[in-house]
Amino acid sequence: MAIPKHSFIAWIISNEALMLKQKLFKLYINPDDLCCICLSQTETHLHLFTECVYSQQILQLIGNWLIADFSSPSILASIASKRWSKLRKQVCTITILAAWYQIWSQRSEARINGQVQRVVCVFNSIKAIISQCFHSCKPEVISYKDTCCLSRVQLV
Ligand SMILES: [Zn+2]
The Å distance, Cα 14 to ligand 1 centre, comes to: 18
Q: What is the pTM of this model?
A: 0.89
C-alpha of residue 60 to centroid of ligand 1, in Å: 15
Distance (Å) from CA 22 to ligand 1 centroid: 12
Confidence of residue 156 (pLDDT cuts 50, 70, 90): low
Quote the pLDDT of residue 127: 93
Residue in 95, 122, 123, 98 with CA at minimum distance from that of residue 110: 122
Question: Mean pLDDT throughout 74-84?
Answer: 89
pLDDT-based confidence at residue 8 (cuts at 50, 70, 90): very high
For the chain, the structural domain boundaries read 4-152
Q: CB of 100 within 8 A of CB of 10? A: yes
Higher pLDDT, 19 or 102: 102
The pLDDT value given to residue 149: 67
Average pLDDT, the chain: 89
Q: What's the CA-to-centroid distance between 37 and ligand 1, angstroms?
A: 5
Say if residue 139's pLDDT is above 80. no
For 30-39, write each residue's pLDDT tens digit.
888 999 999 9
**Listed range (69-73, 78-82, 104-108, 123-127) with the worst mean pLDDT:** 69-73
Average pLDDT over residues 64-77: 87
